[in-house]
Structure 1
Amino acid sequence: MIKYDLHSHSTHSDGKLSVEELVQRAAEKGVNVLALTDHDTVAGIAPAKQAIADLNLDLELVPGVEISTRWHSFEIHIVGLQVDTQAPQLLDLLGEQQQKRSERALKIGERLDKAGFQSTHEKAMLLAERAQVTRAHFARVLVEQGAAKSVQGVFKKYLSRGNTGYVPSTWCDMQTAIDAIHSAGGQAVLAHPARYKMSNKWLRKLIQEFSSLGGDAMEVAQTQQAPCERQFLGQLARENNLLCSQGSDFHFPLPYIELGKNLYLPKDCDGVWQRWQ
């Protein structure tokens, strides 16, 4: 049986593993097909493919990306799978998104520094190295400065809506992201729909609109998930004529989140890979 993990991150965005470390770990964990879906960048795809070849790994890499969008008051993430990493429309959009990330990061740093923290933007940039600075990098800086014991604690206290370091995003809309993914020959997948802290009424509205805009699939299976949630998401996918995807959303090793762990679709779901040639 082929093991698919279609959502992962490297140091090219807010993951902690290099692409070389990521693909090697995926192979060690028994993953057969891995999608690299860094935030608003495809810069890691070519080196990941090279690493698979150099290490002679029995692993298929799916070129992907995760694009942040705005929908009503929510930040919604859309994964692109099997994208052409040289497609002009996609690269233009990712360039705009990266500029927005840079501007937002500067504002977050200013707010945190005014609150008494030290050189947060500069330190976040050092953590990010080659990648775009994200809120996850700021969270790691604040953990080091004693603001909270965990990244999750920092988000809750400082980086979430209504708190000191929160800066509203100005991402593109869902239609723009879906169109850019399609222009690159890819499939647009609604990422982790159960994580957006919205009521079932709003969740149904989101999925219906995503489908009506041309979305192709939604993530149904994740590593840490109650079986009833998986079944419910599968039902919503079928009701809206969407294919189903699965992914760990791996950023770094955790006891409850691991590459390939606990990833399977409900029996009556059609996998997004069934449309691949």
Structure 2
Amino acid sequence: MASIDLHFHSCASDGALAPAEVIRRAHEREATLVALTDHDCLAGLDEARSTAAALGLPFLNGVEASVSWGSKAQTVHIVGLGFDAGNAALRAGLDSVRRGRIDRAHEMAAQLARVGIDGAFEGAMAFCANPDQISRTHFARFLVESGRVKDVRTVFRKYLTPGKPGYVPHHWAALADAVGWIVGAGGVAVIAHPGRYDMGRTLTERLINEFKDAGGEAIEVASGSHSLDDMHKYALIAQRFELWSSAGSDFHAPGEGCRDVGRTDDLPPICRPVWERLADHILV
């Protein structure tokens, strides 16, 4: 089990723990390099970075940018690593992505009310430390806490994915824009958890080619949502497309998801670890 985790979340977006707390949790699990990657948000980085420095835990600035891609505007996530967190264009771009989340949340709540679930907006907001970052995960936690559904995974399957009563699509950033913001700020762009996307070989290759044309350099091979078969599949894809390989737990909260923070699988030997590409960007 590896101890490098370059993809996890805090309450600055849809995680449950404060930035300092999630960094301490990673350190307790003997992580050796971490990156906080909140959704479309840099608000937790100062606290996370200072906590990591106090613990002597090497740290990379991180973010997970939301992208609408392809003719069906499929949501894809792009992790950014090792960038200048003060870069004005990156900050402005992420701010533009966050706009509209509250309107979307009101529509999600209205749809849930039509199937007999009242008070969902207020319930989701109770789990959201940053109102501008309200997301499907906050609705999921409300539905679990209220006893309507047994766990977050089941909530998404029953209510919060396309075709279900609480799902409301949202137009995120264009792929080229999101990658451009990250690269323009001196960072490396990574396709996050590719095994989660409903794409066959042709679409996956098209995504990767467009990603590379925009300046993207890496793909998440070891992910909390990847099986071992997925990991080896994407290791081969990384090798074929000459991409660096990344690893991340995608941790959000204790008891949610498949992996705790700081716990990732070892990359297959054929991979080129993205942290080697980012050696000069690591903050100690």
Q: Please report the TM-score for the alignment, with normalisation by the length of structure 2.
A: 0.91
SS in 2 for 1:7: strand
SS in 2 for 1:166: coil
Deviation string 1:165-201 (CA, Å, 9 cap, x unpaired) is 1111111110010011112111110000011122233
Deviation string 1:23-67 (CA, Å, 9 cap, x unpaired) is 1111111101110000010000001122234xx313112111001
Partner of 1:19: 19
Q: How many residues align structurally?
A: 275
Of 32-41 and 164-173, more deviation after overlay is shown by 164-173
For the residues of structure 2 that align with 1:214 and 1:86, how far apart are their CA atoms? 20
* Cα contact 1:204–1:236 (8 A) shared by 2: no
For the residues of structure 2 that align with 1:91 and 1:80, how far apart are their CA atoms? 12
For the residues of structure 1 that align with 2:226 and 2:176, how far apart are their CA atoms? 28
* Superposition CA RMSD, Å: 1.9
* Residue identity matched to 2:36: L
Aligned 1:25-40 pairs, distance under 5 A: 25-40=25-40
Q: 1:116 to 1:6 in 2, by over 3 A?
A: same
For the residues of structure 2 that align with 1:215 and 1:50, how far apart are their CA atoms? 28
Partner of 1:71: 69
Of 264-273 and 196-205, more deviation after overlay is shown by 196-205
Where structure 1 has 5 or more consecutive residues not aligned to the other structure, the ranges are none
Residue 148 of structure 1, CA deviation? 1.7
Where structure 2 has 5 or more consecutive residues not aligned to the other structure, the ranges are none
* Residue identity matched to 1:32: T
Alignment of 1:209 onto 2:193: no
Partner of 2:85: 85
Deviation string 1:179-226 (CA, Å, 9 cap, x unpaired) is 111121111100000111222332222222222222110101124543
SS in 2 for 1:229: helix
* Cα contact 1:8–1:35 (8 A) shared by 2: yes
Partner of 2:163: 162
For the residues of structure 2 that align with 1:199 and 1:62, how far apart are their CA atoms? 32
Deviation string 1:4-39 (CA, Å, 9 cap, x unpaired) is 110010011111111121111111111011100000
Partner of 1:181: 182
* Cα contact 1:100–1:171 (8 A) shared by 2: no
For the residues of structure 2 that align with 1:17 and 1:150, how far apart are their CA atoms? 18
For the residues of structure 1 that align with 2:239 and 2:182, how far apart are their CA atoms? 22
Aligned 1:130-145 pairs, distance under 5 A: 130=130, 132-145=133-146
For the residues of structure 2 that align with 1:109 and 1:224, how far apart are their CA atoms? 27
Partner of 2:116: 116
For the residues of structure 2 that align with 1:256 and 1:113, how far apart are their CA atoms? 30
For the residues of structure 2 that align with 1:103 and 1:184, how far apart are their CA atoms? 29
* Cα contact 1:7–1:246 (8 A) shared by 2: yes
* Cα contact 1:27–1:58 (8 A) shared by 2: no
Aligned 1:23-62 pairs, distance under 5 A: 23-53=23-53, 56-62=54-60
* Cα contact 2:81–2:188 (8 A) shared by 1: yes
Partner of 2:129: 129
For the residues of structure 1 that align with 2:110 and 2:243, how far apart are their CA atoms? 42
Aligned 1:190-269 pairs, distance under 5 A: 190-223=191-224, 225-254=226-255, 256-269=258-271
* Cα contact 2:5–2:264 (8 A) shared by 1: no
% identity of equivalent residues: 40
Of 34-43 and 125-134, more deviation after overlay is shown by 125-134
Q: Please report the TM-score for the alignment, with normalisation by the length of structure 1.
A: 0.93
Higher RCO by CA contacts (8 Å cutoff, separation 6 or greater): 2
Q: 1:120 to 1:224 in 2, by over 3 A?
A: closer
For the residues of structure 2 that align with 1:207 and 1:125, how far apart are their CA atoms? 36
SS in 2 for 1:234: helix
For the residues of structure 1 that align with 2:105 and 2:153, how far apart are their CA atoms? 18
For the residues of structure 1 that align with 2:163 and 2:224, how far apart are their CA atoms? 30
